[in-house]
């Protein structure tokens, strides 16, 4: 999963147009409304009254990206369910991805949780508490249809220049297979690197590739291979934030039980894959 983003932090809450600058809206936005209490349903303590503040890293479709002036995606929709249960609205903060690994924005009280298509790893568990896994993820090798590349092994044998998103498990995997991948700071940059010929192949999460290939502009590319790395995505909270973690896990469980998860999966990712949608807890 994902990467640093030029060290910027943006709160995505409202549309403002000034001298051509547009600040885009989050999928749900709120002020500090309500009673002004930072205690939500179930005794969950929030960093800001009346809202569930979510750290993410943009763009990472189909999990979170700006669409029609709003931040939308699978992760956004899932955390909206948590916010609804808590009786508040979700507010999205766009942050560098390295902070997700360290838990910096959770520890500093800038965010309540992080949702960024993030792979659960033992190293990351040292700094943050993960929710139950909500998605099984594989990596994919994407190449041009006329590249002649048939697999990751083929790409290695041909000494193909490979791209990956910086500080992600995809980049780690490529390195473990003997590649020295070109690192790009965002998924958009990875795709642009392939389009412009900076690299001849890329390794990135398969759902991201699925999203890219839905776009006719990417008709010249294909998946040369799926790589099952055993990865699972989880949402994260500050270590020891047991009440919020329980609320997140409840929302995931309820969504799978009542069919909401399936609807969101089909909307954002594609044909429902029960195996990916029902990972075992790690």
124 and 23 share one domain = yes
Domain boundary residue, one of 231, 249, 265? 231
Contact 97, 9 (CB under 8 A): no
pLDDT of 255 over the 70 cut: yes
Domain boundary residue, one of 231, 247, 262? 231
Does residue 122 lie within any of the structural domains? yes
> pLDDT tens, 45-58?
999 999 999 999 88
pLDDT at 176: 94
pLDDT of 31 over the 70 cut: no
> pLDDT tens, 157-206?
999 999 999 888 899 999 999 999 999 988 889 999 999 999 999 999 88
pLDDT at 159: 95
pLDDT of 22 over the 80 cut: no
112 and 65 share one domain = yes
123 and 245 share one domain = yes
pLDDT at 278: 57
> What is the C-alpha to C-alpha distance for residues 33 and 50, in angstroms, rounded to an integer?
5
Does residue 221 lie within any of the structural domains? yes
Does residue 4 lie within any of the structural domains? no
- Report the largest interatomic distance among the alpha carbons of the chain, rounded to a whole angstrom: 63
Does residue 34 lie within any of the structural domains? yes
204 and 248 share one domain = no
> What is the C-alpha to C-alpha distance for residues 207 and 273, in angstroms, rounded to an integer?
11
120 and 222 share one domain = no
**Structural domain that includes position 118:** 10-134+234-277
95 and 170 share one domain = no
Does residue 3 lie within any of the structural domains? no
Read off the CATH number of the domain in which 125 is found: 3.40.190.10
23 and 123 share one domain = yes
Q: What percent of the chain has pLDDT over 70?
A: 84
pLDDT at 276: 58
Number of domains within the chain: 2
Strand ranges in the chain using DSSP code E only, listed in sequence order: 10-12, 16-18, 21-23, 25-26, 51-56, 65-67, 70-72, 89-94, 113-114, 128-130, 135-144, 162-165, 182-184, 201-205, 221-233, 236-238
> What is the C-alpha to C-alpha distance for residues 6 and 176, in angstroms, rounded to an integer?
26
pLDDT at 40: 94
pLDDT at 229: 84
- Number of Cβ within 10 Å of residue 188's Cβ equals 16
Contact 81, 24 (CB under 8 A): no
Does residue 2 lie within any of the structural domains? no
251 and 124 share one domain = yes
Does residue 207 lie within any of the structural domains? yes
Strand ranges across the sheet with 70-72: 25-26, 70-72, 65-67
Contact 94, 87 (CB under 8 A): no
Nearest to 130 by CA among 97, 160, 101: 101
197 and 158 share one domain = yes
Name the residue with higher pLDDT: 11 or 124: 124
Contact 125, 87 (CB under 8 A): no
pLDDT at 7: 38
Does residue 282 lie within any of the structural domains? no
Look-up of token digits 């205690």: 39
- Number of Cβ within 10 Å of residue 35's Cβ equals 9
103 and 125 share one domain = yes
């Amino acid at each position: 999963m994902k990467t640093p983003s030029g060290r910027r932090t943006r709160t995505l809450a409202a549309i403002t147009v000034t001298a051509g600058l547009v600040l885009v809206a989050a999928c749900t936005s709120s002020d500090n409304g309500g009673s002004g209490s930072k205690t939500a349903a179930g005794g969950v303590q929030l960093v800001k009254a009346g809202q569930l503040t979510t750290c993410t890293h943009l763009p990472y479709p189909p999990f979170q990206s700006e669409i029609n002036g709003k931040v939308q995606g699978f992760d956004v929709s899932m955390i909206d369910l948590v916010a609804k249960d808590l009786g508040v609205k979700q507010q999205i903060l766009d942050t560098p991805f390295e902070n997700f690994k360290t838990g910096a924005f959770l520890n500093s009280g800038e965010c309540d949780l992080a949702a960024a298509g993030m792979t659960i790893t033992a190293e990351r568990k040292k700094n943050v508490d993960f929710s139950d896994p909500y998605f099984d993820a594989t990596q994919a090798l994407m190449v041009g249809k006329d590249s002649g590349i048939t697999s990751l092994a083929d790409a290695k044998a041909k000494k193909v220049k490979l791209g990956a998103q910086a500080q992600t498990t995809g980049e780690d995997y490529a390195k473990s297979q003997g590649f020295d991948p070109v690192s790009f700071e965002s998924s958009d940059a990875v795709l642009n690197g392939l389009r412009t010929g900076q690299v001849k192949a890329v390794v990135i999460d398969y759902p991201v590739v699925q999203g890219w290939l839905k776009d006719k502009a990417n008709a010249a590319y294909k998946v040369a291979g799926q790589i099952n790395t055993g990865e699972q995505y989880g949402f994260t909270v500050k270590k020891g934030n047991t009440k919020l973690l329980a609320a997140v896990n409840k929302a995931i469980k309820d969504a799978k039980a009542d069919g909401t998860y399936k609807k969101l999966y089909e909307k954002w990712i594609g044909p429902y894959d029960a195996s990916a949608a029902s990972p075992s807890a790690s």
